[in-house]
Amino acid sequence: MRPNAKSKIRNQKPKTFRAKFLDQKVKNLSGVVAAAFTPMHEDGSLDLARVPQIVGHLVHDRVAGLYVNGTTGEGPSLTGSERRAAAEAYVRAAGGRLPVIVQVGHNSLFEARELAAHAQAIGADAVSATPPMYFRPAGVGELVACMADVASAAPRLPFFYYHIPRMTRVELDMVEFLRQAGGRIPNFAGIKFSCSKLDEFQACVEFAQDRWAVFFGYDEMLLSALVVGARAAVGSTYNFAAPLYHRLIEAFERGNLPEARRLQGLSVAMVRILVRYRGMAGLKAAMKLVGRDCGPTRRPLIALTNAELDALRSELDGIGFFDFIHA
């Protein structure tokens, strides 16, 4: 084959691939996606035997997908081998019933690439990545270069950048990121936008149009995100309160804003309580309170004591939590 013919074929591959993967189910998700917990034993070791039951509950609750090894899954606190094991457990338990997005971000781009390649090999539906957080990208161009490196290790899967600046301290313009990433990452599919800046989220949604997905990541602000164009959201409380959010979305789509505001108000009250109980620790404790126990958090996060668990139960009961989380 002539050298120029080889070059022509190489140049055609990204275009052909893009047309193929953009029709996949992950980019077109709508509704709520559960940011899955990583179940643990009391000593902090993984308890992956619980995963099938957790996934079964989420299927019953009609969540749209699973986001594994993210913030809720304590991904940054897990070893590489643990992250692989957790990803395998969730992909196996989902069994094609729910799409699984695996978060592979790491301070080492080499490790992130290996995690991405592993996610593709085990049959995950997409990968996502936070940026390096210790030596942070200096600008949008460098961030895109880092994410292109990670995404290239799983070329058959849609890739989503995970924007969570309160944790990563990478506070760059996401519209400009979309502009550059769309042309430099062949399998780029969008952003998981876990930031409370609704004006920037709206700008991203309007710039992305139907080319890429922009998933919203603040459960307590879902209604506001729906107003400015959100179609799908990824969050922690969807693990145990998905029915509440289904009703919220349905009320919004019917144009019943008073009811949608009332339901979002319940979400706000719930989240405010959970935050007072150390956020992640409170979230995992809530799973125990609803019969979906996935164990404690791992250090440096501190799990709730029995007394705190009782107090949390009482506060949640006071806002009707154990009633409104059911269908």
Active site residues: 162, 192
CB under 8 Å to 124, separation ≥6 — which residues?
87, 91, 100, 101, 102, 157
Cα distance between residue 185 and residue 179, in whole Å: 11
d(CA 195, CA 178): 16
**DSSP state letters, 164-233:** -HHHH-----HHHHHHHHHHH-TTEEEEEE--S-HHHHHHHHHHHTTTSEEEE--GGGHHHHHHTT--EE
H/E element holding 114?
helix 109-121
Nearest of 284, 282, 276, 268 to residue 324 by alpha carbon: 268
Find the length of the chain.
327
Reply yes or no: is the peptide bond before residue 52 cis, omega within 30 of 0.
no
The first and second tokens of residue 56, run together, are 């079964």
- Name, in order, each residue with C-beta under 8 angstroms of 320's C-beta and a sequence gap of 6 or more: 266
